[in-house]
């Protein structure tokens, strides 16, 4: 009996049980022999053909580059956590001052003093109103003078040894001279103002909104989270270093705005102009302002300094048309026309997409590499999406369904926030308008937003027999004299802003310094229940309210990071019951102290 023969992937041909040719008639033997030979040959031919198809497919996968990734030869490239999201080592200041300060920061005496420093600033209601006239022309600014007096009393060494400059009357800049003028300064920023408290909500506060009350766990009041904690943390760190006779090798600059909550139009712009005049463009090694935070993610802490910030555009769409008595209305009133336009706008939002070059996608990669709390199916999708366009689309669909923040993080947002029209119920409105706010994706632009609005709204306006001025250009060729009415599209406030330049991250000295400082502070925290492992995932600031949007010319290294923990905020900022957990506030002081000590002579910043 002949041994059985196996053909790969196509089953098994068993031993031959056909009788020998001498045992059968010659004619039959020959025909049987030919049939058997033909059958074996046919099977071999089929096997060779199938193997050829498989080989062709495999070769196609190996040699066909992916869209946008021509250098990648196949889709099964291993996901290397270190390559896609490298992590910095913890940086610990070598000076013995650190151990001394950490010991003091743990004392009850220091903590009560720090809590009262924050509580005292909260009790001074530096509320920022949108309708304030420039500093010096509105009495509501005078409350900032009271805050300055308090700060002078609370931080005597800062005011005795640093050069203080009052910019545009109420904005503050402190210059702490370093030993080496050849080194670029480090700039730490915060803001003094707070959003107003709505009087109708006062009875909803567990503690009065400007009490600065400390209940043993929480420090209560408007500004405790945003951003008087950042103001007091940086001042406390400097004051304590001065007490020990410390002088930095690198100059340290503190900058405190006065109207961040309305865009920094009086404060940050004046600080910017002052710093450009006295220090120059690209004069600072890095800027650290409020913004990103850290969160506990299972057995690790994820820190998310914002290294990018969305742009902003407020569009005004205004319709004018003949008025008249409401008893004889046209088919569409101007309000009806505006309603049709709004309906079309909301039916055609900007479509968010994942892009491998975006900061948001980089954050996802870091979570896939280091986040123990990320669901396994998402982790797999993210890892595979790095080299597969098909999986990138699958990941996009999954996030679109499951994460309400996908749209704001992966694309441009639009929101019709203001609408105005009509003065009386029996008079046809001759003029109506809307204001639509956009937060522009980092890979988009103001011009792209204008183009989108024009493309969506233009055809509707034409159907309504409106002439259209689309941001200074005639749309559709219909002049005002030939149309029933007119649609004017414009920049509502003249405050359009392109997306911020993206701060360099992995491999950049300033980022490595910040990352190492963050990891060092988190992994040495004595807070109960905090993991001992930390990782960084650079993030995107979506709100576009920070003062840093005015500081682009000062440095390429802007980090929006306050070292706050979301769980340390009782009810968030800008709402009732704003409060910060004291333990979280103490961690901010530890971080800012370490940042100053790490940065004052580091070669990573030059």
516-533 burial: b if 16+ Cβ within 10 Å, else e: bbbbbbbeebeeeebeee
| Cβ neighbours, 10 Å, residue 393 | 13
For 96, list phi and psi in degrees, rounded to 5: -65, -10
Sheet with strand 473-475: strands edge to edge: 413-421, 431-440, 311-320, 485-491, 466-470, 473-475
Distance CA 268, CA 258 (A): 8
CA dist 244 and 263 (Å) reads 37
CB count, 10 Å around CB of 334?
26
Active site residue 146: no
Binding residues: 191, 226, 261, 289, 574
β strands within 351-492, DSSP E: 413-421, 431-440, 466-470, 473-475, 485-491
- H or E segment at 306? strand 306-309
Output the known binding site for Zn(2+): 191, 226, 261, 289, 574
Q: Decide: helix, strand or coil at residue 599.
A: helix
- Locate all alpha helices (DSSP H) within 106-188, ordered by sequence: 108-122, 143-154, 156-161
> Catalytic: which of 193, 259, 441, 512?
193
Residue tagged active-site, from 227, 239, 259, 260: 260
3-state secondary structure 510-565: HHHHHHHHHHHHHHCCCCCCCCCCEEECCEEECCCCCHHHHCHHHCCCEEEEEEEE
Is the Cβ–Cβ distance between 275 and 545 less than 8 Å? no
Measured distance CA(277)–CA(283) in Å, rounded: 11
Check if the beta carbon of residue 86 is closer than 8 Å to that of residue 506. yes
Half-sphere exposure of 531 (CA within 13 A, CB side): 17
Reply yes or no on whether 180 is catalytic: no
Bridging pattern class, strands 286-297 and 558-565:
parallel
Nearest by Cα to 348 from 468, 454, 502:
454
Other CB atoms within a 10 A radius of the CB of residue 542 amount to: 17
Q: How far apart are CA 560 and CA 363, in angstroms?
A: 15
Question: How far is it, in rounded angstroms, from Cα 291 to Cα 80?
Answer: 29
Q: How far apart are CA 90 and CA 533, in angstroms?
A: 11
Distance CA 445, CA 500 (A): 10
Question: Which of 95-100's residues contact partners 24+ apart within 8 Å by CB, and which partners?
Answer: 95/597, 97/241, 97/244, 97/246, 97/597, 98/593, 98/594, 98/597, 100/244
Active site residues: 193, 260
């Amino acid at each position: 009996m002949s041994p059985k023969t196996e053909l790969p992937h196509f089953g098994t041909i068993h031993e031959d049980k056909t009788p020998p040719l001498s045992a059968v008639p010659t004619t039959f033997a020959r025909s049987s022999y030919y049939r058997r030979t033909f059958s074996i040959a046919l099977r071999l031919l089929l096997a060779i053909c199938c193997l050829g198809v498989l080989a062709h497919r495999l070769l196609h996968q190996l040699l066909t580059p992916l869209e946008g990734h021509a250098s990648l030869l196949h889709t099964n490239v291993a996901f290397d956590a270190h390559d896609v999201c490298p992590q910095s080592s913890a940086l610990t200041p070598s000076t013995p001052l650190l151990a001394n300060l950490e010991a003091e920061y743990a004392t009850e005496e220091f903590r009560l003093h720090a809590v009262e420093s924050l509580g005292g600033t909260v009790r001074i209601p530096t509320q920022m109103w949108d309708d304030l006239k420039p500093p010096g022309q509105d009495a509501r600014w005078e409350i900032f003078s009271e805050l300055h007096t308090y700060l002078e009393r609370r931080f005597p060494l800062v005011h005795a040894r640093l050069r203080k400059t009052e910019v545009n009357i109420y904005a503050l800049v402190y210059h702490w001279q370093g030993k080496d003028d050849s080194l670029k300064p480090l700039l730490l920023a915060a803001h003094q103002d707070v959003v107003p408290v709505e009087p109708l909500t006062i009875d909803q506060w567990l503690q009065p909104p400007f009490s600065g009350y400390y209940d043993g766990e929480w420090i209560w009041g408007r500004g405790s989270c945003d951003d008087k904690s950042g103001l007091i943390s940086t001042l406390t760190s400097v004051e304590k270093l001065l007490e020990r006779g410390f002088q930095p090798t690198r100059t340290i600059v503190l900058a405190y705005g006065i109207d961040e909550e309305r865009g920094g139009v009086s404060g940050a712009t004046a600080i910017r102009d002052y710093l450009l005049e006295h220090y120059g463009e690209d004069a600072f090694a890095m800027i650290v302002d409020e913004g990103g935070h850290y969160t506990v993610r299972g057995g690790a802490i994820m820190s998310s300094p914002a290294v990018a910030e969305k742009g902003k555009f407020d569009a005004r769409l205004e319709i004018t048309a003949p008025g008249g008595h409401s008893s004889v209305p046209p088919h569409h009133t101007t309000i009806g026309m505006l309603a049709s336009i709004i309906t079309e706008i909301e039916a055609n939002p900007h479509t968010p997409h994942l892009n491998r070059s975006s900061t948001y996608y980089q954050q996802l990669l870091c979570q896939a590499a280091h986040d123990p709390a990320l669901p396994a199916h998402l982790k797999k999708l993210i890892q595979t999406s790095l080299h597969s366009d098909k999986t990138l689309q699958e990941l996009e669909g999954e996030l679109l369904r499951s994460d309400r923040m996908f749209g704001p993080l992966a694309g441009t947002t639009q929101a019709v926030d203001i609408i105005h029209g009509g003065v009386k119920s029996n008079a046809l409105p001759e003029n109506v308008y809307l204001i639509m706010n956009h937060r522009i994706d980092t890979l988009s632009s103001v011009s792209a937003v204008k183009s989108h609005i024009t493309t969506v709204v233009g055809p509707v306006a034409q159907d309504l027999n409106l002439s259209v001025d689309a941001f200074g250009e005639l749309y559709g060729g219909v002049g005002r004299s030939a149309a029933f009415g007119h649609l004017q599209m414009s920049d509502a406030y003249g405050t359009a802003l392109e997306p911020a330049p993206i701060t360099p991250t992995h491999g950049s000295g300033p980022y490595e310094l910040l990352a190492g400082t963050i990891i060092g502070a988190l992994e040495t925290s004595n807070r109960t229940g905090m993991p001992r492992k930390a990782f960084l995932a650079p993030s995107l600031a979506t709100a576009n309210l920070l003062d840093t949007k005015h500081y682009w010319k000062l440095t390429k290294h802007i980090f929006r990071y306050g070292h706050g923990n979301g769980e340390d905020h009782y009810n968030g900022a800008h709402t009732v019951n704003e409060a910060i957990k004291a333990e979280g506030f103490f961690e901010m002081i530890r971080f800012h102290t370490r940042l100053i000590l790490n940065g004052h002579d580091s070669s990573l910043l030059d």
